[in-house]
Amino acid sequence: MLTALDEAAVGEWCRAAVEALSASRSRLDELNVFPVPDGDTGTNLLHTAEGALAALESAPPGEPVWAALARGAVLAARGNSGTILAQLLRGLGDQLAGQPPAGGPALAAALQKAADGAYAAVADPEEGTFLTVARASGDSAVAAAEEGRDSLSDVVIAAAEGARAALERTPGQLAVLREAGVVDAGGAGLCLVLDALVRTVTGVEPVRPALALPTHHHRHEHAPHQPPPGPGSEVQYLLADSDEAAVERLQRRLAALGDSLVVVGVDTPTGREWNVHVHVSDVGAAIEAGVEAGRPHRISVTPLAPVRPPQPVAGTRAVVAVVPGDGVAGLFVAEGVRVVVCGEHGVTEDDIHAEIDASGAEEVAVLPNDPSLLPVAARAATRARENGREVGVVPTRSLVQGLAAVAVADPERRFGDDVIAMAEAAAATRWAEVTVADQEALTSAGRCQPGDALGAAEGDVVVIGADLAAVACELLDRLLSAGGEMATLLVGPDEELGATVCAHLSSAHPTVEVVRYGGGPGALPLQIGVE
């Protein structure tokens, strides 16, 4: 049994927390009904903890382990709960980095102050959530130390028990939890992290009852603190080259735009950075606010709800994009683009023409986003022109080119000039993709076998390998060898692939701006655009 939490013990705790969150990720995802039922709390907590562990294991000699842990958690934090967990770890690091190994009283005080810091980091804290469980943990630890139960083991057990008791009370504090028949998912994840600490200190695994899953499918469009009506998106990015005053202005701006706002700062070898998380309807405004405050990078935009087809709205101009699924559709819908989602049998000329017609717009730009759909889109555009509409097909050959085109669209320009600007932006974006071979074939990079990872640039296979991540990194190295200031990544279901590629870009190409999106189609693990 440990009497003080030294650096080796901190590393052991972090590994135990990653193990516990990994084992319970799916269950925590199913519990997730607040602040939005997007089913990713367990995934986000695990991603954050893995980032902390990776930073700890690769920390330069002499860096305090608490400082490395905090830095890794903040820079890797994802989602509402992941960002709050990062703030808690950063709070512990603020109190314990550079200090002697923490005994019971020191750890208790640090837990309480870390919880206070987490409340301060959240713009509109809600009771019955992760924050409530964190505060109960710190208060219970301090109470135990003040009552004379001040050994490290007594304090960590008190912290874990206090958190568990608070977790069980969360349904009584939030109606949405009570209606769904669940406890708070983020708070449940924190309890796992604290139980991992108990196991590290005492060598004994706490015995806990299984977490109850939702009693029914639950949606709460009208619950408080939700994004405004519409698709809604989670926007998250790291902010560099800023200062406290600018970040305070950013927080006020984002609080007016949306909710679930969490901003956490941490010191890094190149200066202080902040992890910014918010739920908004106006994605562009949230990112623009970051540009005004500093240099946002590692930007991610994730739809919060299934995409609903937009209602016809008469106007002078519209953009119609063909997309492979709802996950990617949200990225375009968030920018005001109408979408045609590929069904099981693909997309037809009639599908695209119907969406052009439904827009009610006089001028329509069409983004096929696939080379095979260029002639289909052209035929649909010809039919629409016969009905008196002005239609331009922007020759986007991939989703990343489509995103680049949307980024420069400007309804204030002449329509013809706007279509040209969009086409130029798409053409300036070199596109590539990583996929898995489904059969033996001879490619320009050699013969591939079923299951091989393939890296293709502009449709031509240039890298073949056994590992998706290794192929993706080599493909990016080749693309960037010809120059490039920005890399856009559209990541499929394998989020770890995205994290590995982002880490490679950060170390091998530190001057390249990286924009990362989730929700890519399962058939394409990674799509890349380089500008």
Indicate the pLDDT class of residue 331, thresholds 50, 70 and 90: confident
The separation between CA 409 and the C-alpha centre of its own chain, rounded to angstroms, equals 25
Q: Which fold has domain 430-530?
A: Hypothetical Protein Tm841; Chain: A;domain 3 (3.30.1180)
Contacts of residue 507, defined as CB under 8 A and 6 or more positions apart, other chains included, come to: none
Spell out the CATH class of 315-427.
alpha beta
Please state which of the ranges 267-276, 340-349, 366-375, 460-469 shows the lowest mean pLDDT: 340-349
Contact 281, 313 (CB under 8 A): no
Task: State the pLDDT at residue 228.
Answer: 37
Q: What percent of the chain has pLDDT over 70?
A: 91
Mean pLDDT of 84-106: 92
Q: Which residue has the higher pLDDT, 330 or 514?
A: 514
How crowded is the C-beta side of 130, counted as CA atoms within 13 Å?
35
CATH of 233-303 given 3.40.50.1000, 3.40.50.970, 3.40.30.10, 3.30.70.1710: 3.30.70.1710
Beta strand 295-303 with 233-240: parallel, antiparallel or unpaired? antiparallel
Task: State the pLDDT at residue 8.
Answer: 93
Task: State the pLDDT at residue 218.
Answer: 41
Task: State the pLDDT at residue 494.
Answer: 84
Contact 63, 87 (CB under 8 A): no
- Between CA 35 and CA 438 the distance in angstroms is 40
Task: State the pLDDT at residue 36.
Answer: 53
Please state which of the ranges 115-129, 208-222, 283-297, 394-408 shows the lowest mean pLDDT: 208-222
- Between CA 112 and CA 139 the distance in angstroms is 6
Indicate the pLDDT class of residue 214, thresholds 50, 70 and 90: low
Mean pLDDT of 169-176: 80
User: What residues does each domain of the chain span?
Assistant: 7-202, 233-303, 315-427, 430-530
- Between CA 104 and CA 157 the distance in angstroms is 10
| Domain 7-202 grouped into CATH 1.25.40.340 | yes
Is residue 260 left, alpha or beta, with left meaning phi > 0 and alpha meaning psi from -120 to 50? left
Indicate the pLDDT class of residue 35, thresholds 50, 70 and 90: low
Task: State the pLDDT at residue 52.
Answer: 92
Please state which of the ranges 25-39, 152-166, 194-208 shows the lowest mean pLDDT: 25-39
Please state which of the ranges 89-93, 158-162, 298-302 shows the lowest mean pLDDT: 298-302
Q: What percent of the chain has pLDDT over 90?
A: 43
Task: State the pLDDT at residue 221.
Answer: 38
Task: State the pLDDT at residue 39.
Answer: 59
Answer whether residue 408 shows pLDDT above 80: yes
Backbone angles phi, psi at 517, to 5 degrees: -120, 145
- Between CA 196 and CA 13 the distance in angstroms is 6
Q: Determine the residue type at 491.
A: V
Residues 183-206 have pLDDT tens digits of: 888 888 999 999 999 999 999 888
Indicate the pLDDT class of residue 231, thresholds 50, 70 and 90: very low
Task: State the pLDDT at residue 282.
Answer: 78
Q: Determine the residue type at 310.
A: P
Torsion angle defined by CA atoms of residues 423, 306, 220 and 186, in that order, rounded to the nearest 10 degrees: -90
Answer whether residue 45 shows pLDDT above 80: yes
Indicate the pLDDT class of residue 211, thresholds 50, 70 and 90: low
Handedness of CA 429, 434, 437, 442 (dihedral sign): positive
Indicate the pLDDT class of residue 269, thresholds 50, 70 and 90: confident
Cα separation values, 380 from 340, 409, 500, Å:
13, 21, 40
Indicate the pLDDT class of residue 507, thresholds 50, 70 and 90: confident
Task: State the pLDDT at residue 520.
Answer: 75
Task: State the pLDDT at residue 224.
Answer: 35
Task: State the pLDDT at residue 248.
Answer: 94
Mean pLDDT of the chain: 85
Mean pLDDT of 89-114: 93
Q: What are the structure tokens assigned to 133, written together?
A: 């469980």
Indicate the pLDDT class of residue 386, thresholds 50, 70 and 90: confident
Task: State the pLDDT at residue 305.
Answer: 54
Indicate the pLDDT class of residue 327, thresholds 50, 70 and 90: low
Which one of 76-80, 255-259, 364-368, 523-527 scores highest in mean pLDDT? Answer: 364-368
Task: State the pLDDT at residue 229.
Answer: 38
